[in-house]
Amino acid sequence: MTSAALAQALLDRAPFVTAHRSDGLLLSDYFDGHRVLGEPALLHALALALHERIAATTAEVVAGEVAAGGQLATAVSLVSASTPRPLEARAVRRTAKDYGLSGRLSSRVPEGTRFAVVDDVAGTGAALERTVLELRRQQHPVVGAFVILDRQQGAAEALERIDCPLTALFRLEDLTLLRRPDRAPESATSKRTGT
């Protein structure tokens, strides 16, 4: 799927809603990644696009914070299964679990295992930074952070400060342009005007 087709498929799921960010700020264009992650064909296409970028690194495991990041990590891992270098998936909890396999990582891997971190959206970068720092605390190098959408609200800069590059499939400003009514695809315009 081309980048333009993927962007349109993403927008067709109407992922932008009015909602509060985790810090309480009300956004009129909050990105509800769960609307996207719940659609199998779109999730598969997004996972393929993210995997393509992650496969160019030395990552051995893909991880994301519970919940959206963990779901996305599993999807990327699944599409990697048919490649020469499959990636295992892990979820990173915000707080340590004190029963079963305790700790913040859903399943242990050998120290020094290289991780790619994924999430649906990068806003301020707080969740991504928290995940990167936790993996590093556990002695795992992180090759980078990979997201569907960069809201361009400081995540890239926050991650740069901890030496973790951010790669996004889309930037908010690009999708905002596509969402404008006066930027409707030609075929849709033709259908409305009857030409």
Query: Per the omega criterion (within 30 degrees of 0), is the bond before 67 cis?
Result: yes
**pLDDT tens per residue, range 110-144:** 999 999 999 999 999 999 999 999 999 999 999 99
**pLDDT tens per residue, range 33-65:** 999 999 999 999 999 999 999 999 999 999 999
Question: Maximum Cα–Cα distance for the chain, whole Å?
Answer: 64
pLDDT at 102 over 50: yes
Tokens 């994924």 -> residue: 118
At residue 10, the pLDDT reads 94
Rg (CA), the chain: 18
What is the mean pLDDT of the segment spanning 95-124? Answer: 87
**How far, in whole angstroms, is CA 132 from its chain's centroid?**
14
> 148 in helix, strand or coil?
strand
